[in-house]
Structures are given as structure tokens and as C-alpha cells.
């Protein structure tokens, strides 16, 4: 979006709704941005604690165990998306918002609990598969199993947290989400120190700290959710075959969407490792730029999910489009700030991430692409949020697969002789393609007056 267009959108939306609508969006976005920041900070604490253990094999083993579970949890992120969209639409319902909200809460929580218990039941095959892919040394594999065998018992809480946090975002309770995240992460960090240094529990202590934190966050989320629904108990027909089909379709489409995205990101990591050690290390550094972008743009997207979903639940297409336009304005502003920050301080950011001169020089050559990334990619973050709010999972699935198969991999193949940079050309084109295809789908539905129709 060009600067004049951004300004036009801003002026249009402020004239139509006043400054309050923009304030409401930012009031929802900033707590989620802060909540997003706390997660990588916790990872730093975990790494620091494990990094001061007796053997580097402990850190390596626990890191692999963490990677196995976080990859599963990331793929299961469809729980958060579907829960947010359905919850936001229930909030916007003009007839029975409390009843519909309670229904969504219990339905999505049931799906999450089933998935969490399934992970526990399949823990041994999951561990074997993860160990086989890692191909680690016997001592590292032993610590991986030690960590995983404890941490996996937090899976039901982790899955429920996805559903509950999503539900709370849909209810526009992002401040409560921030408090829950901060409490859980601080508890995790404190227990890391107590279990490892106080009780000498080694890798098991780090895993147990995470499990306790996950269940604490889950209980806090449950308390908040039950208060909001006034303790409304579930009805049997909320889980009948018709309801199960709707949830299966919605979550199934989101799952396929996540798998397609993960395939692209995994290909970038694996292909970079095949190119060589330097390429793999540079890619790890550059991915931190992507993480920084996601922190801000996801915060705006979360706010848009809640507001668009509420408008969809109220069948108010005009309000829905206005929410989208406001989201586009702030997404564009964040993108411009990121681009400017990377242009001015990109080398300094790289210097914070590594002191190896060869890596710093190589990574710095990618900075023009890092500057372009937020400008090209903010569209897909924003429209992902819009379509989550609309619960149009079919469109999200289709555009993701199209962008992966017809853009990411072809662009990489065309430029592959250029080496590692081809992977970043492909990622940049992929992000842009996702934004363009979702934007086109939104424009088409808007012209048809079909944005608030059920899918």
C-alpha cells in the first residue's frame, strides 16, 4: 500500500467512525504485542539455565525435545485461530451472545482436550520420529528422552491454552491474555531456577517448570472464561454430529493451511543446512528478523480477528470493511516502522545476534531483503486476521497452498543457482503472494456482499 493510499484509508476511517475506533483497535493490539514478546524472552531464560548445566549434551537434548513438541503445538495453532473466529462471531451475535460464546468455549475446549490426550497416548512414536529426524548422539538422545518424557504431560494444558487464549482474544479480552502470559512465563522462569539450581533436577526440572506453568495458565484462562460465560454448562446437542462436522471442516482446513506454511519454513531451514554451515547459521540469524516482524504484525492481526469476527457475527458488512481498512492502515504503519528500523539499525541487530565477523558480513548482505520483508509481508498477516475472524478456513487453506506450490517453490527453483539467497527470494515472494491472494478473495466477497455469509 502506497503512503497516499494509507493516508486516504486513515482519513476515511477516522471520518466515518472517529478516533475511538482506532483507539479500540490499538487497545486490543498492544497487549497481544507485549504478550508475543514474553514468549521468546522465556526461551532465553530456559536456554540460559540449561546452558550453565554440566554438559552441553543437556542443552542439546532439551532443545531437541522442545523442538519436537513446539512443532506439534505450532501445527495445532489452528485451535487458536478457529476459537478466536468463532468466539468473536458469537460476541457479535445480536440474539444470544452469551449462549453462543459459551457454546464455542466448550466445543473448542473439547477438541483441544482430545488432541492433548492424543499427544500423550502417542508420545512414544512421536519421540521416536523426532529422534530419528534429529539423528543425535546417544548422550544427547538420552537427555532428549529425559526432557520429553516429562514435558509431554503438559500437552493437554498446552492444547487447551491455544483454545482458551483464542476464545479470550475473540471476546476482546487481550489485557487478561497478557496478564496470563506474563504470570505463566515468570512462574516458568522462577521454577527453572528452583528446580535446576535448588533441587538439582537437571533437564527434568526445566521440563517440569514448563508443565506447571502450562497448567497454571490453563487454570487462569478457565477462571476468566467461566466468569465471562457466567458458568454456563454445556448442552449435549452442542456436540452432535452437525456440530462435529462444522468443527472438523473448520479445523481441518486450518490444519492443512498450517502444514503448507510449515513445509515452506522447514524447506528453508533444511535447504540452508544442505548448502552449508554458514548458510544455516545466517538463516537462523535472519529468521530473527522475521520473528521481530511477527511480534508487531501479529498483534494487529489479533485485534482485527476479534473486531472483524464481531462484525461478521452481527451481520454488519459495512462495519466489517471499516475494521479491515483500519487494520490495513495500522499494519502499513508497523511495516514502515520495521522497514525503517531494519534500514537504519539492521547491522546493529545482526551484531547483537552474533560476534562472528564472517556471519555478520554475510548476514548484512541480506539486509535489503529484510527491509522489504515487512512491506511485502504485512498484507498476509493482516488478511490472515480478517479471514480468521470470518472463519473462512477454506480460503485460507487454498491461498496458502497456491502460494506455496505456485510461488514459493517455483521462485526458489528459478533462482536456486544463486545459492542461499534464493530461499529468501522465495520467502519474500511467498509472503506477498499470500497477501495478494487473500486480498483478492476479500475484495471479491466484498463486491458480492457475501462477507458475512456462513460458509
305 and 227 share a domain? Answer: no
Widest distance between CA atoms in the chain: 65
Evaluate whether residue 343 is within a structural domain: yes
Query: Would 222 be classed as within a structural domain?
Result: yes
pLDDT of residue 318: 92
| Domain's final residue, options 208, 239, 270 | 239
Q: For residue 136, give its domain range.
A: 53-239
Same domain, 234 and 258: no
Number of domains the chain contains? 2
Whether 190 and 293 map to the same domain: the answer is: no
For residue 43, the model assigns a pLDDT of 62
Do 71 and 20 fall into the same domain? no
Return d(Cα 385, Cα 174) in angstroms, integer: 15
Q: Between the CA of residue 353 and those of 285, 288, 343, 428, what are the distances in Å?
A: 7, 9, 17, 22
8 with 58, same domain: the answer is no
Asked if the structure places residue 41 within a domain, the reply is no
Residues 21, 67: one domain?
no
Same domain, 136 and 165: yes
pLDDT value of residue 54: 62
Residue 14 has a pLDDT of: 47
The domain boundary residue, chosen from 211, 239, 267: 239
Same domain? For 215 and 289 the reply is: no
Q: Is residue 306 part of a domain?
A: yes
363 & 221 share domain:
no
Domain assignment of residue 366, yes or no = yes
> 106 and 223 share a domain?
yes
**In a shared domain, residues 186 and 274:** no
Per-residue pLDDT of the chain (455 residues; tens, 9 = 90+): 444 554 555 445 445 455 788 899 989 998 988 888 777 666 666 666 766 666 667 777 777 788 788 888 888 989 999 999 999 999 988 777 888 899 999 999 999 999 999 999 999 998 888 877 766 677 777 888 888 899 999 999 999 999 999 999 999 999 999 999 999 988 988 998 898 888 878 888 888 998 999 999 999 999 999 999 988 888 888 888 888 888 889 989 999 999 999 899 888 888 887 888 788 888 888 888 888 888 889 999 999 999 999 999 889 999 999 999 999 999 999 999 999 999 999 898 888 877 778 888 988 999 999 999 999 999 999 999 999 999 999 999 999 999 999 999 999 999 999 999 999 999 999 999 999 999 999 999 999 988 887 76
Instruction: Report d(CA 236, CA 260) in Å as an integer.
Output: 35
Question: Is 247 inside any structural domain?
Answer: no
How many angstroms separate the CA atoms of 393 and 256, rounded? 10
Same domain, 258 and 303: yes
Q: Do the Cβ atoms of 6 and 326 come closer than 8 Å?
A: no
Amino acid at each position: 500500500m502506497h503512503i497516499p493510499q494509507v493516508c486516504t484509508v486513515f482519513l476515511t476511517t477516522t471520518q466515518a467512525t472517529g478516533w475511538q475506533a482506532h483507539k479500540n483497535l490499538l487497545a486490543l493490539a498492544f497487549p497481544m504485542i507485549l504478550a508475543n514478546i514474553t514468549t521468546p524472552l522465556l526461551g532465553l531464560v530456559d536456554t540460559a539455565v540449561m546452558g550453565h548445566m554440566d554438559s552441553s549434551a543437556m542443552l542439546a537434548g532439551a532443545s531437541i525435545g522442545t523442538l519436537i513438541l513446539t512443532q506439534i503445538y505450532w501445527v495445532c495453532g489452528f485451535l487458536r485461530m478457529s476459537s478466536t473466529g468463532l468466539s468473536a462471531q458469537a460476541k457479535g451475535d445480536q440474539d444470544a451472545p452469551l449462549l453462543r460464546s459459551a457454546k464455542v468455549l466448550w466445543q473448542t475446549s473439547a477438541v483441544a482436550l482430545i488432541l492433548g490426550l492424543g499427544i500423550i497416548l502417542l508420545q512414544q512414536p512421536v519421540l521416536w520420529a523426532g529422534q530419528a529426524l534429529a539423528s543425535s548422539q546417544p548422550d544427547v538422545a538420552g537427555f532428549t528422552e529425559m526432557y520429553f518424557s516429562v514435558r509431554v504431560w503438559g500437552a493437554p494444558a498446552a492444547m487447551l491454552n491455544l483454545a482458551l487464549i483464542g476464545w479470550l482474544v475473540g471476546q476482546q479480552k487481550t489485557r487478561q491474555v497478557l496478564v496470563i502470559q506474563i504470570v505463566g512465563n515468570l512462574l516458568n522462569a522462577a521454577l527453572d531456577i528452583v528446580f535446576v539450581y535448588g533441587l538439582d533436577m537437571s533437564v527434568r526440572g526445566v521440563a517440569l517448570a514448563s508443565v506447571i506453568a502450562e497448567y497454571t495458565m490453563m487454570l487462569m484462562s478457565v477462571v476468566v472464561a467461566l466468569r465471562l460465560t457466567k458458568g454456563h454448562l454445556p448442552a449435549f446437542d452442542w456436540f452432535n454430529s452437525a456440530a462435529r462436522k462444522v468443527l472438523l471442516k473448520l479445523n481441518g482446513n486450518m490444519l492443512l493451511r498450517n502444514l503448507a506454511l510449515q513445509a515452506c519454513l522447514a524447506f528453508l531451514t533444511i535447504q540452508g543446512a544442505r548448502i552449508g554451515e554458514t548458510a544455516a547459521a545466517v538463516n537462523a540469524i535472519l529468521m530473527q528478523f522475521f520473528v521481530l516482524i511477527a511480534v508487531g504484525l501479529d498483534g494487529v492481526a489479533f485485534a482485527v480477528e476479534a473486531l472483524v469476527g464481531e462484525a461478521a457475527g452481527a451481520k454488519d458488512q459495512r462495519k466489517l470493511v471499516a475494521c479491515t481498512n483500519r487494520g490495513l492502515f495500522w499494519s502499513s504503519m508497523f511495516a514502515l516502522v520495521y522497514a525503517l528500523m531494519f534500514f537504519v539499525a539492521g547491522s546493529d541487530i545482526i551484531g547483537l545476534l552474533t560476534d562472528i565477523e564472517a556471519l555478520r558480513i554475510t548476514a548484512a548482505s541480506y539486509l535489503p531483503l529484510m527491509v522489504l520483508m515487512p512491506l511485502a509481508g504485512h498484507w498476509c498477516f493482516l488478511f490472515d486476521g480478517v479471514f480468521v475472524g470470518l472463519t473462512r478456513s477454506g480460503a485460507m487453506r487454498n491461498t496458502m497452498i497456491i502460494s506455496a506450490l505456485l510461488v514459493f517453490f517455483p521462485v526458489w527453483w528459478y533462482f536456486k543457482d544463486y545459492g542461499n539467497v534464493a530461499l529468501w527470494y522465495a520467502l519474500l515472494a511467498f509472503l506477498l503472494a499470500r497477501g495478494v491472494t487473500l486480498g483478492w478473495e476479500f475484495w471479491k466477497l466484498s463486491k458480492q456482499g457475501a462477507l458475512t455469509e456462513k460458509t
